Amino acid sequence: MGEALLKHAIGGLPKDNPLRNLEIVSAGTSAIDGMPPSPNSVKALEKVGIDISSHRSSALTQELIDDCFALFAMEKGHLQAVKSYYKNYPKRSMTVLQCIPHSHEIDIPDPYGCDMIEYLEVRDDIIGAIPHIIKYLENELKKNS
């Protein structure tokens, strides 16, 4: 859901915005390549006009890490797994909620196997973080240029 929501938001930015040049990719620390999204993920995003039915999962790889400008994880444990299992850990790494100034929460729990209410809450948590992620990425791209 995070990949689709961020892509959707960036797609609505002006054409000259440098964020539109970034490739937004999601990959899981425990994912199996090629798995479809959960039906509840599809339904949760359909409710905001985004179709992810053709999305397929990807496992995180060293190549993705090496090409990574910024890494946003749903949970702190995911960041710890990346740091433990991959070299060249991206310096721009944080949980999605850590992008929100003064956020008291750090993790967005994986709703897999939960009811629709959990999926909608996760979707809405991600949506709430998107403007902060965009601002963070814009600032980091300015520093990098």
Model pTM greater than 0.85?
A: yes
Query: Is position 23 within any domain?
Result: yes
pLDDT band, residue 144 (cuts 50/70/90): confident
Domain boundaries, position 6: 2-139
145 is a domain residue: no
Mean pLDDT of 52-68: 95
8 A C-beta contact, residue 91 and residue 128: no
- Determine, yes or no, domain membership for 67: yes
DSSP 59-103: B--HHHHHT-S-EEESSHHHHHHHHHH-SS--SSEEEGGGGSTT-
Residue 12, both tokens: 């609505």
What does the pLDDT read at residue 145?
Answer: 73
Mean pLDDT for the chain overall: 95
Find residue 94's DSSP bridge partners: 72
- Domain tally for the chain? 1
CATH number at residue 87: 3.40.50.2300
